[in-house]
Chains A and B, each alone.
Chain A
Amino acid sequence: MRTPIAYFLLLGGILFSLGTVGVLVNRNALRIFMSVELMLNAVNLTLVSFARMHNDLGGQVLAFFSMVVAAAEVVVGLAIIVSIYRRRRTIDVDAAREMRW
């Protein structure tokens, strides 16, 4: 492989910051959730890059576990969004304010 590892790390950083922007500016819970998925993927890309850089398969296994946890997180998160929508007919994150201090 001739591509420098740094390029993959930079791509991961760019995707992570784009996901951060999505989390910060959106108020639609589904969009925020998609941006979180983008951030998780960027971190997985970084893990696989470091696995390649250090000739160690542990990074790939950790990325695999991270995917499994992300799948579980999506299932529970979408169920929460659906139940919030049933209760108040909106998924605006500013609308759920019972626990606000």
Chain B
Amino acid sequence: MPLDNVVFWVFAPIAVAAAIGMLVTRSVVYAALFLVVNFGCIAVMYLVLDAAFLFAVQIIVYAGAIMVLFLFVIMLLGVDRIDVRSERLWLQRPIAIVLAIGFVLEVGAAVRAGVGFATHAPVGFEALQPAGNTQAVAEVLFRDYFFPFEATSILLIVAAIAAMVLAQRKVRAITQAELGEELENEAADDVEPEIEVTP
């Protein structure tokens, strides 16, 4: 049994199991950690598929940056308060599962008709990239896809600004008059303390 077959059959079940675990676990934090495992397994798949550059990018961007962002937001919102668990449509879950199984069967049929289960990848992929995968990807990226690459930088700037605008608290500047009014109110509260009556 060749080595990449072994690697595939070790990591593909882990990827599927982690995805299922993400769906069934009750805790949002566990779901995020299952997703990290799944991303790691997909990164290994990239390595098997001779995409070493995307392996590194997958680990850095997905397993690193995006999942840290997810966990940060989970912790920011409060882990115990954000889980929503009641069902409103009782048939929703069975129908979704049936549709998913149908989709997998459909993909299987399409792959069988279009690619075939015995088709191996052609040899000579390494000959395309004599200096390694990263150099080859960089050559294609900066020669053929240079304009999309530059457009991506604008997209990232816009996304960063949008995130800051959306997530900021609305703090209004307090004028001097309002500040004085507020202080007066506080002084009035001090003179006449509120009495709480508990029934």
Contacts and interface: CB of A to CB of B under 8 A. Distances in A.
B73 A82 contact: yes
A49 B158 CA distance: 31
Chain A interface SS verdict (over half): helix
Interface stretch (B90-98, B174-182, B183-191): B90-98
Contacts of B76: 82
B89 to A, nearest CB: 10
B4 A6 contact: no
Interface string A1-23: 11111111111111111111110
Interface string A62-88: 011101111111111011111101100
B115 A53 contact: yes
B77 A91 contact: yes
A76 B163 contact: yes
Given A79-B166, A81-B73, A68 B103 contact: no
Contact of A64 (B50, B57, B167): B57
B5 A53 contact: no
Contacts of B137: 57, 60-61, 64
Nearest to B23: A22
A22 B51 CA distance: 28
B163 A14 contact: no
B140 A17 contact: no
Contacts of A63: 51, 54
A48 B39 contact: no
B115 A37 contact: no
B130 interface: no
Given A19-B19, A48-B46, A71-B61, A41 B73 contact: no
A18 to B, nearest CB: 4
Contacts of B48: 1, 3
B140 A57 contact: yes
Nearest to B140: A57
Contacts of B116: 6
Contacts of B197: none
Contact of B162 (A7, A27, A76): A76
Contacts of B70: 30, 33-34, 74, 78
Interface of B: 2, 4-5, 8, 12, 15-16, 19-20, 22-23, 28, 31-32, 35, 38-39, 42, 45-46, 48-51, 53-54, 57-58, 61-62, 65-66, 69-70, 73-74, 76-77, 82-84, 88, 92-93, 96-97, 99-101, 103-104, 107-108, 111-112, 115-122, 124-125, 128-129, 133, 136-137, 140-141, 144-145, 148, 152, 155-156, 158-160, 162-164, 166-167, 169
Interface of A: 1-22, 24-25, 27-28, 30-31, 33-35, 37-38, 41, 44-45, 48-49, 51-53, 55, 57-58, 60-61, 63-65, 67-76, 78-83, 85-86, 90-92, 94
